[in-house]
Amino acid sequence: MEERNWMQLMTEQNQLSKVLDTNQYTEKFGLMLSEDDAKLLVRERREVLKAEQRVEFGEGILPRLIFAFCDSLYLCQDNYVDILGRLQEIFYLYKNEMMDEITDEELLEFMREQFDTVCFGDLDYLEGTCLDIFAQAIRVGYRGYHQTNGKGEMKKIDLVKRWDRGLFLQALSDLM
């Protein structure tokens, strides 16, 4: 068995408890995590943090992801654990891609809005299109999302009309 330090074990135990506590809220949406499901998600958290070379202190993003997405029409008990695992992975990837310029709340708001309104629950589209375009905008200096907390941003960065890099960069400079 892999030897881990006591601090990591305590952090994961705390994370497990916080994730299981979300069941009290999510059950009204028909969503529940078993202890095994929660352990899997906490284990995946550790692996994705390592893969993305991130360190996280405190509660972690998973309970906040759960609260942000649990009332989505695109979640059901059958896909709940898989979607949470993938959302967690996407979140940490794009925190890096956006060079930590965006707050957790802004990223969560953006992800949730796109997941429901543009992606219609399609995680590949969320990751490969919406978040990719938004990350590009942030890397070239776009900061308008601070005023909106991440809400309504894809309307400003039109996917179809501005995909051409030159048009995209011009549109961003117009917004700044």
- How many angstroms separate the CA atoms of 131 and 51, rounded? 19
Tokens 């894809």, residue? Answer: 154
pLDDT in tens, 113-147: 999 999 999 999 999 989 998 898 888 887 777 76
Please work out, in degrees rounded to the nearest 5, the angle formed at the alpha carbon of residue 92 by the alpha carbons of 11 and 98.
135
Residue 102 per-residue DSSP state: S
User: Would the pLDDT of 16 be above 70?
Assistant: yes
The pLDDT value given to residue 1: 44
> What pLDDT was estimated at residue 128?
92
Residue in the block written with tokens 């030897």 = 3
Q: How far is 94 from 117, CA to CA, in rounded Å?
A: 19
Asked whether 66 and 57 are in contact (CB, 8 A), the reply is no
Contacts for 163-168 with beta carbons within 8 Å, 24 or more apart?
Answer: 163/133, 168/133, 168/136, 168/137
Tokens (6 digits) for 102: 């965006």
H/E stretch holding 132 reads helix 132-139
- Give the model confidence (pLDDT) of 33-90 as tens digits: 999 999 999 889 888 878 888 777 667 899 999 999 999 999 999 999 999 999 999 9
Q: What's the rounded Cα separation, in Å, for the pair 73 and 116?
A: 8
167 pLDDT above the threshold of 60? no
What's the predicted TM-score (pTM) here? 0.80
Q: Where are the beta strands (DSSP E) in the chain?
A: none
Residue 106 carries which side chain, given as an amino acid letter?
A: E
User: Residue 74: exposed, middle, or buried by beta-carbon count in 10 A (0-12, 13-18, 19+)?
Assistant: middle
What whole-number distance in Å separates Cα of residue 84 and Cα of residue 65?
Answer: 7
Distance CA 175, CA 171 (A): 6
In this predicted structure, what is the pLDDT of residue 49? 78
Q: What is the pLDDT of residue 14?
A: 78
Q: How far apart are CA 32 and CA 120, in angstroms?
A: 22
What are the tens digits of pLDDT across the range 62-71? 999 999 999 9
Give me the sign of the Cα torsion angle 46, 102, 68, 159: negative
